[in-house]
Amino acid sequence: MIEQDLKDFQKITQKSLPTFEGLAQGHRACQGCGEVLALRQVMKALGPDTIAVSATGCMEIITSSFPQSAWNIPWLHVAFENVAAVASGVEAGLKAQVRKGKLPEKKICIVATAGDGGTADIGLQALSGALERGHNFVYVCLDNEAYMNTGIQRSSATPYGASTTTSPSGKHSIGQNTWKKDMPAIAIAHRIPYVATANPAYHVDLMNKVQKAKLINGPAYLHIYSSCPTGWRHDIDKAVEISRMAVESRVFPLYEVLDGRYVLSRNVKKPIPVADYFKPQRRFRHLRPDDIAHIQSRVDADWEALQQKVAATNPAPPEPEAGSNKKEE
């Protein structure tokens, strides 16, 4: 079924990058923001026939200060917790308008965007409902690993050991003391057609995944790594470098799941140590060598588990029978 949906997929290359800009210049993002870079790439790939629904969060705040807007497409701002529900309503409303003859039958992409707090915490119930009902929309989680807009509070997507304002490191605290919630796995558990992870440092891969998500008939979930110099306390010119290191250390693997089949987008055979990834981010500066070793072991185990899923869902072709390669006499 997914093969039929993707029959018109045209791969984006470095030479054929979309020229459309759904997100205009002049927004109010922090210097060096990796999240707005990711959002710009998403909107370029989706194109002009798109309606965006944004949860409260950094990207809503920095693009919509009245009376100005950085959006070049129809856009709705909704509450923290209900972006998936509102996107579901927009999709249903469009169907009704077409059915009544009030709008022409035309492919219009509905995209819902939220941060990790609005996805993994506050908005999880609405997201689960929309995925289970099978609404035809794209959900994008821009994951900067904390509630950055309201003061760098921890979320359930904050990585173990990170220091935030509500999980501060100290004499008796490692910082965040729970492991990062695996939101892509939760989306996959809903058995939707398409789930993928992406990273703006790999912009062509990100935009191709957005293109696929747009073509899917049904819900598609994209989980996008979004570095934050303010909350992660890294230099403002390091967003792309740190984003790349997240993949090269296997902390944030790039993969896609098509109708349950796992495909690695980037097979990192010689990873850099997790310690190297942590070094430019002052949110991890308090970690001791044994703490980092503990995290490294978890990253290694998660990578191995992902490799096993890839192998299990992509069975090797059967070996030819003995003598089958002989020429017929």
Q: What is the CATH classification number for the domain harbouring 162?
A: 3.40.50.970
Rounded average pLDDT over 240-256:
98
Q: Is the pLDDT of residue 217 over 80?
A: yes
**Count of structural domains, the chain:** 1
pTM of structure? 0.95
Residue 50's pLDDT is what? 98
Per-position b or e across 221-246, b if 16+ CB within 10 A of its CB: bbbbbbbbbbbbebeeebbbebbbbb
Q: In this structure, is residue 198 part of a structural domain? A: yes
Q: In this structure, is residue 318 part of a structural domain? A: no
Name which of 54, 47, 110 is nearest 82 in CA terms: 54
Instruction: Give the pLDDT band (50/70/90) at residue 322.
Output: low
Q: In this structure, is residue 294 part of a structural domain? A: yes
Listed in order, strand segments (DSSP E) in the chain are 50-54, 75-77, 109-115, 138-143, 169-170, 173-174, 194-198, 220-225, 255-258, 261-264
Three-state secondary structure call for residue 254:
coil
Q: In this structure, is residue 30 part of a structural domain? A: yes
Assess contact for 154 and 167: CB atoms under 8 A: yes
Q: Is the pLDDT of residue 190 over 60?
A: yes
> What tens digit of pLDDT does each residue of 30-60 get?
999 999 999 999 999 999 999 999 999 999 9
Residue 325's pLDDT is what? 55
> What tens digit of pLDDT does each residue of 133-187 get?
999 999 999 999 999 999 999 999 999 999 999 999 999 999 999 999 999 999 9
Q: In this structure, is residue 191 part of a structural domain? A: yes
Q: In this structure, is residue 322 part of a structural domain? A: no
DSSP 97-154: HHHTTSS-----EEEEEEEHIIIIITTHHHHHHHHHHT-S-EEEEEE-SSBTTTTSB-
Range of the domain at 281: 2-313
Q: In this structure, is residue 199 part of a structural domain? A: yes
> What tens digit of pLDDT does each residue of 8-33 get?
999 999 999 999 999 998 899 999 99
Residue 315's pLDDT is what? 82
Q: In this structure, is residue 326 part of a structural domain? A: no
Strands 173-174, 169-170: pairing is antiparallel
Strands 109-115, 50-54: pairing is parallel
Instruction: Give the pLDDT band (50/70/90) at residue 125.
Output: very high
Rounded average pLDDT over 73-99:
97
Report the alpha-carbon distance of residue 64 to residue 51 in Å, rounded: 15
